[in-house]
Amino acid sequence: MQIYSQKYSSNNIEKNGNILSTKLWLRKATLFTVFVTGITACALEPQQPNVVVVPTPQATVTVTATPQVTATVVVTPTPQVTTIVQTEPITDVLVITNANKQTLVNRPVQFTNVNVQSVVGDRTFWVGSSNTQRVFVVLAPKLDAGTAENKVVVKPGQTLDLAGVLKPAPSAKQAQQQWKGLTATEAQGLQNQIIYLEANQIRFKST
């Protein structure tokens, strides 16, 4: 009986030892599997680099446009110089009849003691020394209006003082329309004269 008990105990110890060995082996196997799995996982997992790449900040370049310089140009117009030539008035009929009459337009005239050759109308007459040395005269409207119309009565043979301006003669048709009493012959003769005297002052000297 004692022998059996020892044998039984001995068997139990052996079994227990085997079980313990088995457990230890299983634990080792488990640890090894975990270890291998970890290594495999580490091998498969992409290694993260230890270098941290910091993106280089982009440099911001501010371009300042060159300001346009606006030049203000002040253009001062050249003043026109009006030359007023003080022209001495023509005092002799011969100066008019012997000159290039077109150059005498707008020239002032001041006759003294000039003779009236003929009277054409209320406002028109000829003065001079002869039919070839004469000037056609037209009284300005102010000398043939209102009370002046009755006072200013020109007659052949009178001696007058006249002042006025030389003007270009109109056409024969216009002359007859403007000045009453002017015949066609007189109007045509005026065309040959080219200019006439518009008298704005008149003084009677004698009859």
| pLDDT on residue 29 | 60
Q: Can you list the positions of beta strands (E) in the chain?
A: 108-119, 124-128, 134-139, 159-168, 195-206
| pLDDT on residue 202 | 94
| pLDDT on residue 68 | 60
What percentage of the chain reaches a pLDDT higher than 90? Answer: 36
pTM of the prediction?
0.57
| pLDDT on residue 192 | 85
**Which has more confidence, 157 or 77?**
157
121 band by pLDDT with thresholds 50, 70 and 90:
confident
Residue 8 CA to residue 140 CA, distance in Å, equals: 176
pLDDT tens column, 154-202: 999 999 999 999 999 999 999 998 888 888 888 888 888 899 999 999 9
Burial class (CB in 10 A: 0-12, 13-18, 19+), 136: buried
| pLDDT on residue 94 | 94
8 band by pLDDT with thresholds 50, 70 and 90:
very low
Residue 119 CA to residue 189 CA, distance in Å, equals: 14
| pLDDT on residue 191 | 85
- Using alpha carbons, list the distances in angstroms from residue 22 to 15, 27, 28, 138: 10, 9, 10, 160
- Phi and psi at 161, nearest 5°, equal -110, 125
87 band by pLDDT with thresholds 50, 70 and 90:
confident
